[in-house]
Amino acid sequence: MRKVGIVELEAAIAVARRRSFRAASADVGLSPTVLSQTIAGLEDRLGVRLFNRTTRSVSLTPAGEQFLAEIEPAVGAIHHAMETVNSHRDKPAGTLRINSSVGAARRVLSPIILQFVRLYPEMHVDLVTEDRLIDIVAEGFDAGIRPGDTVPGDMIAIPIQSIEGFTVVGSPAYFEGRALPETPQDLLDHTCIRARMPSGSMYRWEFEQDGRIITLDVPGQVTLDDAGLMLEAVLAGAGLAYMAEWWVSESIREGKLHRVLDGFTPSSAGLCLYYSRHRYQPAGLRALVSFIEEVRNKRT
Q: What is the pLDDT of residues 254-290, one digit of tens each?
A: 999 999 999 898 877 788 999 988 777 788 999 999 9
Q: What is the pLDDT of residues 42-74, one digit of tens each?
A: 888 888 899 998 877 888 999 989 988 888 888
Q: Which residues contact 283 (CB under 8 A, 6 or more apart)?
A: 83, 86, 87, 89, 92, 94
Q: What's the rounded mean pLDDT across residues 67-86?
A: 77
Q: What is the rounded end-to-end Cα distance, in angstroms, of the chain?
A: 61
- Kindly report the backbone phi and psi dihedral angles of residue 153, in degrees, each rounded to the nearest multiple of 5, phi listed first: -65, -20
Are 224 and 195 contacting, i.e. CB atoms less than 8 angstroms apart? Answer: yes
Q: Where are the alpha helices (DSSP H) in 128-244?
A: 172-175, 227-235
| CATH architecture of structural domain 94-158+270-299 | 3-Layer(aba) Sandwich (3.40)
Are 39 and 54 contacting, i.e. CB atoms less than 8 angstroms apart? Answer: no
**Mean confidence (pLDDT) of the chain:** 87
Query: Is the pLDDT score of 1 beyond 90?
Result: no
Are 71 and 60 contacting, i.e. CB atoms less than 8 angstroms apart? Answer: no
**How far apart, in whole angstroms, are the C-alpha atoms of residue 158 and residue 248?**
25
Task: Say whether pTM exceeds 0.75.
Answer: no
Which among 228, 230, 250, 249 has a CA at the least distance from the CA of 239? 230
pLDDT at 13: 87
**How far apart, in whole angstroms, are the C-alpha atoms of residue 241 and residue 227?**
10
Q: What is the pLDDT of residues 148-192, one digit of tens each?
A: 888 888 899 999 987 678 899 999 999 999 999 999 999 999 999
**Structural domain spans, the chain:** 6-86, 94-158+270-299, 164-268
pLDDT at 45: 86
Q: Which CATH code, of 3.40.190.290, 3.40.50.150, 3.40.50.720, 3.30.70.20, is assigned to 164-268? A: 3.40.190.290
27 pLDDT tier (thresholds 50, 70, 90)? confident
pLDDT at 245: 87
Are 106 and 161 contacting, i.e. CB atoms less than 8 angstroms apart? Answer: no
**How far apart, in whole angstroms, are the C-alpha atoms of residue 257 and residue 244?**
13
Q: Which CATH code, of 1.10.260.40, 1.10.10.10, 3.40.50.2300, 3.40.50.300, is assigned to 6-86? A: 1.10.10.10
- Decide if 94-158+270-299 and 164-268 have a common fold: yes
Helix (H) or strand (E) holding 271: strand 271-276
